[in-house]
Amino acid sequence: MSRLPASPLAIAALLIVLLVVAGLVAYRTAFAPEVKVAVLFDVGGRGDLSFNDMAALGADRAAKELGVKVDYMTPKDLAHFVPLLEDLSRRGEYQLLILVGFLWIDALDKVADKFPQQKYALIDAATGKRRANVAEFLFREQEVGALVGVYAAGMARELAREAGGPVKVGSVAGMSIPPLWRFHIGYLFGVKYFEAKTGTSVEFAWVYTGKFDDPAAGRRAAETMLAAGTRVLYGLAGLTHVGMFDAVVDWNAKGRGRALAIGQDASQEWYNATYIPLSGSKRVDVAVYRAIEMVVKNAWQGGVVVLGLAEEGVGIWDLEGVRYFAQIAYETKKTKVPPQQIVEIVSSQRGKYIKEDVQRIARELEEKIRRGEIAFKDPRDEGEYEAIIRELSRGNLNAALAKGSVG
């Protein structure tokens, strides 16, 4: 059956509707208030190739994809945290103030209740108080720690095959605080998971330096651990574990043996790609983007938001991530090695020290976590944390789990 042609009256009506819709869209575009966001960095600001740069990565993405206006600010020192936050909150210029790192906790506690209409996003920290105008983004560090534990054990096994000595891994950690408890639980779980899957005995060492800003302390701790036979060291101490990196590089350069290091949070392979072939990720950029997205989509919710593997909040940096941070390091003259060369070295070292069976074990574990088959405990206090570590050390993997079990 052929269709009847549309009447001129129907066509005219349709054109009018289309014009009205187009006008409404244009009106909303022209007069909708612009969403403005301020990212308040930790002391040190942009260019740290760590948390601050990752926060900027997430905000830059939001500016491009969501059309928000983003301003970046860095307080001069701790004394300026409260005055800066109070001033910005009083002005009300920004729909969202993003606070990067745990150093903002005190300032937020002092300011947030005075300005209930101002929205705040605290990244990688929590105040312990529930506020409707504050979203606190935390991470399931156990999940990335577990994957790193598998990879570290596999790397240590290859080093032992290459040069003899024990299969021994360790970590240079910062302070004994909840995020580090979660890292410790995950890292040891991953090592013990590797043991259970391969039958390879792996020694484990963990040292708290008590500092996040003392490379000399990180170097001393690493040198002691290397001398005791630890061959793969995981950095969990911010600037302090840069000293750990230096110790590992010197250990190799002076012919004292073979050792490797693993970075954390941002991709840190660029620091010395030959001896740092891997980094775990804590995706501050994802948290920042999600916080901005809640405002843009009028879907704001105060309270704690926890990101893990399933939310792409943690993981292992792929080669594109390695390239991204290597490019920043190269442009800011923190390394003289071109980004492509860094990527090629990392790819080669991963192939050399992370064998197929290790990749398979890590993928298997990651899938269990992503599918929700297993979930880690979040220790309520230091006593529970220490109890979990004791049980894990004995090989009781299930002591670390709040859901599911592993054989």
In a domain, 2, yes or no: no
Q: Are residues 88 and 235 in the same domain?
A: no
Cα separation, 257 vs 233, in Å, equals 14
Query: What CATH number does the domain containing 162 carry?
Result: 3.40.50.2300
Domain count, the chain: 2
Q: Are residues 132 and 145 in the same domain?
A: no
Please provide the average confidence, as pLDDT, over all residues in the chain. 92
Q: Are residues 187 and 332 in the same domain?
A: yes
38: tokens are: 């301020």
Residues 378-387 have pLDDT tens digits of 999 999 999 9
Q: Are residues 237 and 325 in the same domain?
A: yes
Q: Are residues 109 and 133 in the same domain?
A: yes
Average confidence (pLDDT) over 338-366: 98
Percent of the chain with pLDDT over 70: 92
Which runs of E-coded beta strand occur in 286-337? Answer: 303-307, 314-316
Residues 281-322 have pLDDT tens digits of 999 999 999 999 999 999 999 999 999 999 999 999 999 999
Residues 244-265 have pLDDT tens digits of 999 999 999 999 999 999 999 9
Model confidence, pTM? 0.87
**pLDDT the model gives residue 2:** 37
Average confidence (pLDDT) over 163-188: 95
Residue 374 structural domain: 141-277+317-403
Residues 133-154 have pLDDT tens digits of 999 999 999 999 999 999 999 9
**pLDDT the model gives residue 15:** 52
Could you tell me the pLDDT band of residue 44, with boundaries at 50, 70 and 90? confident
**pLDDT the model gives residue 16:** 53
Tokens 């190739």 map to which residue? 49
Q: Are residues 387 and 330 in the same domain?
A: yes
214: tokens are: 């003392």
Sheet strand arrangement including 232-236: 203-208, 168-173, 232-236, 260-265, 278-282, 314-316
Q: Are residues 209 and 327 in the same domain?
A: yes
Which runs of E-coded beta strand occur in 16-143? Answer: 36-40, 69-73, 96-100, 119-123, 134-139
